[in-house]
Amino acid sequence: MIAEAGLAALWLAAALALMQLAIAAIGVRRVMAEPDFQTELSGHLLAAVRPVAIVQGVLALLAMVLLITVFVRTDMSVLLVAENSHSEKPLLYKFAGAWGNHEGSMLLWVTILGVAGAAVAIFERSLARATLIATLGAQAMIALGFYAFLLFSSNPFTRLDPAPVDGQGLNPLLQDPGLAFHPPTLYIGYVGISVAFSFAVGALVTRDVGPAFARAMRPWVLGAWIFLTLGITAGSYWAYYELGWGGWWFWDPVENASLMPWLAATALLHSVTVLATRDGLRAWTIMLAVVAFSMSMIGTFLVRSGILTSVHAFAVDPERGSFILALLAIYIGGALLLFAARVGTVRAGNTFDLVSREGALVANNLLLSVILGIVLIGTLYPIIAAGFGTQLSVGPPFFNKAAGPVALLLVAIMAAGPLLRWRRDEAKALVARMAIPIAATVVALAGFLIFAPGIDLLPLLGLALAAGLAAASVAPLWGRNLRRTPLFTYGMVISHLGIAVSLAGMASDSAFTQATLVAARVGEPQRVGPYSVTLDGIAPVIGPNWSALEAHLSARRGSGAAIQLRPQARFFSNPVTSTSESAIATMLDGQLYTVIGQPDGAGRWQLRLWWKPFVTLIWAGGALIALGGVLSLLGRWLRERRARGREAEA
């Protein structure tokens, strides 16, 4: 009865989403038509719609908990469990395996969507009542479409009769602790963007685009951006060590599907900050909210439409893709029509000079939009071309050459932005403030040209600009009383510093990585970078649901102590799959990355070895970016809480 209870919870949640949408639609229409009674009427309507949103979120969460329960219990009478689990699978992967498939991942999406709507209903108090009602209605409209998708196209609780003795197992590439962390963080980010979209729709409906609306929306945008950053960073490292190819970003279409919303959310975050604090960029903020949600919907379509073949993709069913495409057309098309109809009512807000912090933020947003356009075109163009019978691929060379220079220009403007004054500034004053960052860039550039000649141009510029951005990132703290500096200022500093750290890691990986592919005999040393790696032997290993051949490697750097590495070639029986499990030794100045391949029949084993200087800076920087976001969120919350306290005392 657990599966039936989960399905019933989904149907009830869908019914409540429909009720929530109806109440909000009727309510907004009446409130807008009867302005004289707006305060009293909106209060009654909000009191009616809030409990519906909360109960809907609870029911969606209940459905997800019940799906996890049937996976943990290995209930093979549920089709989804039989197709994606196995009795011998470790408990962690039974738990996380609930969303390691198409239907379960969509239920997780809907669950987070429902819980987010409930959170808006519970915690949002600063938004105008009519706008909040419209926002909850927009959120219900999004949820209703995805409930329909689950119930009519991707039911996770379908029964199987007769039940098989055991299941087909989970894709071995997903049998990793990353499955418990990466999808949920990404989905929270995606859904956070949907909340920002709902806020934008609500503000357009009620013609309430202003600083108060932006201050209410900003925490949701910032929260979504934090989780997207964490999800992308974790996913990058998971693919790096799990796939065994030695790279941290392949420009895979599904990787791009997570990057595009992040780029749009980054632009939206800066725009909404300008609107909240300086009452500028009103139309920009609304448009970016629509674009960011569009990118999350396109990402969902790419992963689940069946038009892509990728280790990241879930579905291979074009009908499901058509359903999502229809939802995308309804939501995004409707929002664009609403924007077009109401943009004339959105006032321009305060103006500013080109040389100002607002001007730098606009330039940043434009460059982020250009990068987003490059990634979007490079991702979709092969798909469109295939529809016309032309097979082609767009890979890393295109993205690196097209987006790389734009990204470096973006970094340069990012360095200058925090050093500019609001409203207007002087170019000469900016140059004076930028003296140390410019000097750091020039010194770094000269140093690499002298001591590491032969580096390609883009990595060289990336390393130099990373040094300049690092110096510029901490510049807002110069001469300030650090104890009295707001927490959100520290957040900005740390996030920008994280960009510099990640950029340094990316450029170092591109400039300094050394790799070798050899056929090694036992006892025969191999060189890669500063290390000598020796194959000491091969031994069989038995895991909980796999067997493996494990290479015993000893790595030495000069006369230092030996480092032991144990890469494996694993074999899974359910489903029948072979995987390469890399072994990585992490040092302060980089990582030694090793993979064991197949024997050649002559007593030799294929070994792939990489020495990757400072590659860990990529993920350390990602963690710093997210940490800065957390500090900014906490700082804004504490500031608003103190402001409310002072108002209450007054």
Q: What is the mean pLDDT of each run of 10 residues along the chain (650 residues)?
A: 94 96 86 60 76 96 97 94 88 90 91 95 87 93 94 92 86 85 91 92 89 92 96 94 90 90 95 90 92 89 65 56 83 86 76 86 94 94 81 87 95 93 88 94 96 92 97 91 89 96 97 95 94 95 91 93 95 86 95 94 92 97 97 90 71
- Residue 577: inside a domain, yes or no? yes
In this structure, are 60 and 164 located in the same domain? Answer: yes
Given 152, 175, 198, the domain boundary residue is 175
What pLDDT, on the 0 to 100 scale, is given for residue 416?
A: 93
In this structure, are 564 and 492 located in the same domain? Answer: no
**Rounded Cα gap, residues 567 and 551, in angstroms:** 6
What pLDDT, on the 0 to 100 scale, is given for residue 505?
A: 98
Residue 352 phi/psi, 5-degree rounding, is: -155, 160
Range of the domain at 635: 434-505+621-650
In this structure, are 44 and 169 located in the same domain? Answer: yes
In this structure, are 638 and 501 located in the same domain? Answer: yes
SS3 (DSSP) at 608 = strand
What pLDDT, on the 0 to 100 scale, is given for residue 346?
A: 76
**Rounded Cα gap, residues 364 and 288, in angstroms:** 13
In this structure, are 477 and 587 located in the same domain? Answer: no
84-110 per-position pLDDT tens digit: 898 888 888 899 989 988 899 999 999
- Residue 70: inside a domain, yes or no? yes
- Residue 34: inside a domain, yes or no? yes
Give the torsion through C-alpha atoms of 246, 248, 249, 250, to 10 deg.
Answer: 10
In this structure, are 26 and 5 located in the same domain? Answer: yes
What pLDDT, on the 0 to 100 scale, is given for residue 309?
A: 53
582-622 per-position pLDDT tens digit: 999 999 999 999 999 989 888 899 999 999 999 999 999 99
Q: Look up residue 233 and give its two tokens.
A: 């960073």
What pLDDT, on the 0 to 100 scale, is given for residue 354?
A: 83
- Residue 553: inside a domain, yes or no? yes
Given 134, 150, 175, the domain boundary residue is 175
In this structure, are 8 and 137 located in the same domain? Answer: yes
Task: Give CA angle at 476 (473, 482), nearest 5°.
Answer: 115
**Rounded Cα gap, residues 219 and 640, in angstroms:** 11
- Residue 323: inside a domain, yes or no? no
What pLDDT, on the 0 to 100 scale, is given for residue 40?
A: 58
What pLDDT, on the 0 to 100 scale, is given for residue 119?
A: 95
Residue 53 · residue 134 · CB < 8 Å: no
Residue 238 · residue 178 · CB < 8 Å: yes
Q: Which long-range contacts (CB under 8 A, 24 or more apart) does 397-402 make?
A: 399/251, 399/374, 399/375, 400/458, 402/374, 402/378
- Residue 197: inside a domain, yes or no? no
Q: Look up residue 332 and give its two tokens.
A: 């995004």
**Global confidence as pTM:** 0.93
Residue 577 phi/psi, 5-degree rounding, is: -150, 150
In this structure, are 452 and 585 located in the same domain? Answer: no
Residue 92 · residue 6 · CB < 8 Å: no
The DSSP element (H or E) to which 536 belongs, if any, is strand 531-542
Q: In terms of Cα–Cα distance, which of 642, 566, 650, 644 is closest to 607?
A: 566
Residue 570 · residue 176 · CB < 8 Å: no
Q: Which long-range contacts (CB under 8 A, 24 or more apart) does 235-238 make?
A: 235/178, 235/182, 235/186, 236/618, 236/619, 236/622, 237/178, 237/619, 238/176, 238/178, 238/182
What pLDDT, on the 0 to 100 scale, is given for residue 387?
A: 73
- Residue 589: inside a domain, yes or no? yes
With 0-12 / 13-18 / 19 or more C-beta atoms within 10 angstroms meaning exposed / middle / buried, residue 623 is middle
Give the torsion through C-alpha atoms of 623, 628, 631, 632, to 10 deg.
Answer: -140
**At residue 608, what is the residue type?**
R
Number of domains making up the chain: 3
Q: In terms of Cα–Cα distance, which of 303, 71, 307 is closest to 186?
A: 303
Q: In terms of Cα–Cα distance, which of 85, 49, 65 is closest to 3?
A: 65
Alpha-helical segments (H) within 388-426: 396-416
**At residue 262, what is the residue type?**
W
**At residue 589, what is the residue type?**
D
In this structure, are 43 and 159 located in the same domain? Answer: yes
